[in-house]
A = this chain, B = another copy of it.
């Protein structure tokens, strides 16, 4: 398989999937989410379980009527019920992917994380991965975590690396290159993340992540710009060529997300990993395009 290096190729792969995925879509009450729903139906890319909290309006009714064969509608009385229903559809194997519309992310994640009826696999760590296409880089970048874990510990970092490498493999990258991001290049006990980074490097060299290269700490520029790395005298196959950026905390991950989104007009897609099925939790300010890319990524990554 040729590696996917642009969102255009990602969509091509989504469209070429032999079996349509079944998406549980909770509360599609905003125009962006309805646009995504309509596009998927028009292009026959997925089938839907739509869970409404009785706020959906005429626009949704028209869609539901037109594509009645590809939409099953479930009515709920509250957003919390809607969240639980969406999660149940995944847990009982009726849906392959979970996506939210206007419902609050917190509401949905509460249902996802519910000990009895949630969809967090036993022992798994839930974290967020964002795929970004930014001009001035010749391939896609996948990074974690811009949304879920404020201060990752070693176990959480290890899971992030695992999930992100798996996503890269799904995208056809045979040997993903993982940059562990920090402001320093030195392992330093004053900055505990760098100690975790050393352990991750050791695990990688012992083969824990399969065919992948893990290096760091290094900064974002060193990870993505070969010229900067050369000036600094850092030689690593990761430098200037990273596929994956692991951020030391949510403040840094979120800053990267918002900066490339606004200042670089990057194309972005995000999914939650570590659950029984990929979960798409777009932020309110995300564009239709970004929501569509996220759903495409989720469907491609649902490999059961």
Q: Give the interface of A toward B (CB within 8 A).
A: 134-137, 146, 150, 181-183, 190-191, 219-222, 224-225, 227-228, 231-232, 247-256, 258-266, 284-285
Contact = CB atoms under 8 A, between A and B. Distances in A.
B259 A259 contact: yes
A150 to B, nearest CB: 7
A133 B251 CA distance: 22
A194 to B, nearest CB: 11
B134 A228 contact: no
Contact of A258 (B134, B219, B227, B249): B219
The 6 A-B residue pairs with the shortest CB-CB distance, nearest first, are A183-B254, A221-B258, A220-B258, A251-B252, A228-B285, A252-B255
A243 B224 CA distance: 28
A263 B134 contact: yes
Contact of A284 (B190, B231, B248): B231
A183 B251 contact: yes
A284 B227 CA distance: 11
A62 B135 CA distance: 42
Contact of A262 (B150, B225, B250, B253): B225
Contacts of A190: 150
Nearest to A136: B263
Contacts of A264: 259, 263-264
Given A251-B248, A259-B256, A265 B136 contact: yes
Interface centre among A228, A253, A255 (most CB of B within 10 A): A255
